Each structure stands twice: as C-alpha cells, then as structure tokens.
C-alpha cells in the first residue's frame, strides 16, 4: 500500500519506450532547440510544432512541414519525455508513421497523453526520416525539439483522461473497456489538494471525503507530534483500471512522496489513515516495513477503521487476525520480517505480514509507550544491506533494552 517506486508493469513499459508525463498546471513554454550536431540531413523542412493544450490527459500534437525533395519521404513522429519527468516519474513514448509526398506542404496530427502529476516535465518531439531504411533500423532523428511543461499545485489544466478514446492501441493493456474519466476538477482544503473527475463516486462524496481526511491528518500529526509540511495531493479514481492508466500501479492505494492515489467506489473505499500515515511519517524516518507498514496499519485501527479490510483481513481486528494466523502456523519470524523493505508483493506474504507487523507495533506502543516507538522509527533504516539490517536489530535493542528475540518471546505470550 506504499510504494516509493512505481512497480512498473513489464508489458506496459515495454510499450512505452520513452515517455512523457505531465504534471502541472498551467502552462508550458517552449525552450531550447536541441537539434543535435549529429542529426542527419533531411529534405524535410519543419515549419511549426504545436503541442496543443499541454494538459493532463489527451492532447493533439501538430507538426507542419514541407518536403523539399522530388521523392516521397516516410517519417516517424515521436513524442516522449526527457530528463525531468515531474513528481511521478512516469514515462510515455508514443508516435506514428507518415508519408509526405514530393514537394508536399503538410501538417500531421498525433494524439498524445500525459499522465497526471506535478512538477516539470521535458517533452521531446522528434522526427526521423525512415525513407529507404530497414524496418528494424533505428536511424537518428533529423529533428529534435524539447519543450518544458510545468504543472503547479493545484493544476486546473486537464483534458479528458481516457487514453483509449484517441489512442485505441492502448486498449490491449486493460481488461475491460476503460471507464470514461472526464477532466479532473480540484478541491483545496487546509492540508490537501484533491482531484476527482465529475460523475465519479469520489466527486459526489467530496464533502465527506474532505472532512474525513482533515480529521485524519490532525489525528495522525497530533499522535506523531509532527507539523505537516507542504500540501498533500490526493487523486481519486473510480476503479483499478483508470488508476492503473494514470499511475501504472495496480492495487487500490498508492502513496508516493506527498501524493496519494486511491480507488474510490461503492465497493472500495480505503480508510483515510493508512496512506496518509505513510506520508506524515515520512517526516520522521524511513524504517523497515515492519515499522512503516506496521504503524500505518495499526493507526487505521487505533482511529476506528477496519485496518485489514483491503489487506486480506476483512473486518477482523488486528488481534483476531494474528491469533488466527498463529493458530494455523502462518507466521513470519520477526528476525526475518524486520528485514523486509516492503509489504505488499507476493513474496512478502502481505496477508500475514500486514497484521503481524501491525500487531507487533501495537504491542511495542502498548507496552513501552509511544516515545520509545518513535525513537526506533527515527533510527532504524529501510535497506537491503545486511550490515544496515544488523544495525537495525542493535538499535532496536538499544531503544528497548532487550534483544529482538526477547521482545518476540514476550510478545508471543499475549496471543
Ligand atoms: Zn502501506
């Protein structure tokens, strides 16, 4: 439920070779002309490049050109992202092939799609002359131009987000036909900027959502003794497929940096605490998943939500679930669980690891208090490095005055 890096679906990414992504509001401006020195010559003269609205979602790229040659030319038009890819880092590369007749003066149009996110995105438009080239050859483009797109918070610059409407070749990446996702509208509150698309369940329930989230952040910050830094961004999607379209992440919830993306519909409503806890606690430390996921899951229950509802535990309490798992001998020893960098992947056994981590956190807080827990949260580091993991166990011992094995033994006596 928490991801620093977007799990990249191999199928999607093999297709989206390069990229564009977009964030921000507002407007973008064209910057440096990056025609490289080694660009091959072409009889095609570029007259104008227009990136269209440069908004989140679908945009129309228009390139006007003149064929100064007495022969037909075959061109490949590509739009993709450069170095800066906004805060989501998503990349999209897309383009099409065009034939320009001898001495023809022509504008070609191509729909491209920018996923929602904030920050600066470099969009690169390239034209490659494929005339007489082998199908699988990759000649250098004869024309390359980079544009800077900026999306500030909040962003009102959004078009229709349904990628398959204008780019039907993307249909194969979705199980069902994508629901129409109209341009996002935004709602600003004390701590959040919330994006939802008209006619979706979240949009219709926005007042409720706002009051719940504001209450949640006050409670989490109060408990952790943290002042929230900066605005938190919330994106709501009506289903997993539209969320996947915009984030390339499968699953119901995603927290990354200061941004949360969630599915919200009649069947799926995430509790308002879990992802928010990840964001707030990012100000305190970056501990292993035992503490990071354990605390986020614990917090949901502490503030009255069914913390395991979307984590395979239904409406059981953390305690009930852990007892059930232990009785079935479905268990991860703590010296192993403390080395996990994430919980959620198949190999992390999320249905066992989430409740177990949450219950260990609850035990530490109930038995030794919040201060010691936050000390440990600050000091332990999330890492795959064995030395760091070994140090984590030592640091834990220093904070609690006893080794992990002893904490585990004591803990196991209560269930
Ligand atoms: Zn999580």
Determine the distance separating the centroid of ligand 1 and the alpha carbon of 1, expressed in angstroms: 4
- Do residues 101 and 72 lie in contact, with contact meaning Cβ atoms separated by under 8 Å? yes
Instruction: Write phi, then psi, for 235 (nearest 5 degrees).
Output: -110, 130
Provide the edge-to-edge strand list for the sheet that holds 105-114.
Answer: 44-50, 57-67, 105-114
Domain with CATH 1.10.390.10 in the chain: 182-412
- Ligand 1 midpoint to CA 2 (Å): 4
> Phi and psi of 322, rounded to 5°?
-65, -40
Buried b (16+ CB within 10 A) or exposed e, 371-383: ebbbbbbebbebb
Tens of pLDDT along the chain (415 residues) come to 554 433 333 333 333 333 333 322 233 334 444 444 577 889 999 999 999 999 999 999 999 999 999 999 999 999 999 889 888 777 777 889 999 999 999 999 999 999 999 999 999 999 999 998 887 888 999 999 999 999 999 999 999 999 999 999 899 998 888 999 999 999 999 999 999 999 999 999 999 999 999 999 999 999 999 998 889 999 999 999 999 999 998 888 888 889 999 999 999 999 999 999 999 999 999 999 999 999 999 999 999 999 998 788 889 999 999 999 999 999 999 999 999 999 988 999 999 999 999 999 999 999 999 999 999 999 999 999 999 999 999 999 999 999 999 999 999 998 8
Q: How far is the CA of 403 from the centre of ligand 1 (A)?
A: 26
**For residue 371, what are its two tokens?**
């201060």
Residue 184 C-alpha to ligand 1 middle, in angstroms?
A: 25
CATH class of 3-151: mainly beta
The runs of H, that is alpha helices, within 119-205 are 163-166, 201-204
Residues pairing with 143 in the sheet: 127
Q: Which of 412, 402, 388 is nearest to 323 (CA)?
A: 412
Verdict on whether the full-model pTM lies above 0.85: no
Note the CATH number of domain 182-412: 1.10.390.10
C-alpha–C-alpha distance, residues 101 and 98, integer Å: 10
**Segments of the chain assigned to CATH 2.60.40.10:** 3-151
């Amino acid at each position: 439920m928490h991801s620093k890096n977007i799990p990249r679906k191999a199928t999607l990414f093999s297709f989206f070779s390069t990229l564009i992504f977009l964030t921000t509001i507002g407007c973008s401006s064209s910057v440096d002309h990056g025609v490289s020195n080694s660009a091959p010559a072409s009889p095609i003269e570029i007259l104008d490049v227009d990136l269209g609205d440069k908004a989140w979602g679908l945009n129309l790229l228009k390139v006007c050109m003149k064929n100064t040659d007495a022969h037909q030319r075959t061109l490949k038009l590509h739009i993709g992202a450069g170095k800066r890819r906004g805060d989501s880092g998503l990349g999209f590369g897309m383009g099409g092939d065009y034939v320009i007749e001898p001495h023809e003066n022509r504008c070609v149009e191509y729909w491209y799609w920018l996923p929602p996110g904030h920050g600066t995105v470099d969009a690169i438009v390239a034209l490659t002359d494929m005339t007489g080239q082998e199908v699988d050859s990759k000649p250098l483009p004869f024309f390359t131009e980079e544009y800077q797109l900026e999306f500030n918070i909040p962003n009102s610059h959004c078009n229709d987000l349904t990628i398959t409407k204008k780019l039907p070749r993307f249909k194969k990446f979705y199980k069902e036909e994508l629901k129409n996702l109209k341009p996002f509208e935004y709602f600003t509150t004390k701590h959040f900027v919330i994006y939802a698309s008209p006619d979706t369940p979240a949009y219709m329930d926005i007042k409720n959502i706002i009051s719940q989230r504001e209450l949640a952040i006050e409670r989490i910050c109060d408990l952790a003794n943290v002042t929230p830094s900066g605005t938190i961004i919330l994106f709501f999607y009506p289903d997993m497929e539209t969320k996947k379209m915009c984030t390339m992440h499968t699953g119901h919830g995603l927290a990354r940096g200061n941004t949360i993306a969630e599915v919200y519909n009649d069947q799926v409503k995430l509790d308002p605490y879990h992802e928010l806890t990840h964001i707030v606690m990012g100000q305190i430390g970056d501990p292993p998943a035992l503490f990071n996921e354990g605390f986020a899951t614990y917090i949901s229950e502490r503030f009255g939500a069914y913390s395991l509802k979307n984590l395979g535990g239904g409406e059981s309490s953390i305690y009930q679930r852990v007892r059930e798992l232990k009785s079935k001998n479905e268990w991860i020893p703590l010296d192993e669980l403390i080395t996990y960098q994430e919980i959620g992947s198949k190999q992390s056994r999320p249905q066992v690891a989430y409740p177990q981590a949450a219950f260990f956190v609850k035990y530490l807080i109930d038995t030794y208090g919040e201060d010691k827990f936050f000390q440990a949260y600050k000091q332990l580091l999330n890492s795959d490095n064995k030395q760091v993991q070994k140090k984590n166990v030592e640091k834990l011992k220093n904070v609690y005055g006893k080794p992990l094995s002893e904490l585990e033994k004591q803990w196991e006596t209560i269930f």
